[in-house]
Amino acid sequence: MQLFVGLGNPGKKYEKNRHNIGFMVLDEIASDQGFTPWKSQFQGEVCQGNIGSEKVILLKPSTFMNLSGQSVGEAMRFYKLTPADVTVFHDELDLAPSKVRVKMSGGHAGHNGLRSIHQHIGEHYQRVRLGIGHPGHKDRVAGYVLSDFAKAEADWLDDVRRGCSDGAAELAKGDTPRFLNAVSLRTAPARSSKTAKPTETKKPKAAPEPVEDTRSAMQKLADKFRS
């Protein structure tokens, strides 16, 4: 059994925020994979289903980002899971928009949701880092992550959501390369190997060669008076 956790903040006010991309990905997985309806449990919203041969629980903590670990720890204890059974989907400032990476264990890099999870279950869990880009200065980070995605970002955001859902079965099996490949097929589809032939440019016609005048001087003079 696997526990997939999406990080975000609950409520309409936050649902389109960059900080809520983890929630967005889980919503896509639940919809595409035909999971049970969401219900309130473990201080969050929970649904479950099978992805391939794996049973997967989806959890969106309702504790607000900074207390996410309370919800994750409660669900993990109920299902008697280990941290290695947990995968957390979260926004990542250090990755460009649409980039997705997977990391096992390690620090929280200042992410308050991960910091809280560290406090409750330790650091030995898997993270799916969902790139949202950086605003350029640390003083702008709080406002940036708590603002909505721009309309111009809708296409790549949809690709990331669908890509994560496409690869969910591989992720549940522990096949990270195939999961990332499924994501990249959405976010960076292969280009056609057929290349357009360059437009042919017509060569200018060569000027006709001059014809040698073989007339005698008398003929030239006579022709001149005839004209």
Active site residues: 19
CA dihedral (141, 43, 108, 51) in degrees, to 10, reads: -110
What 3-state DSSP class applies to 115? helix
Q: How far apart are CA 59 and CA 47, in angstroms?
A: 7
Distance CA 160, CA 87 (A): 17
d(CA 14, CA 23): 10
3-state secondary structure of 4: strand
Q: Pick the closest to residue 58 from 80, 84, 82, 39 (CA basis).
A: 39
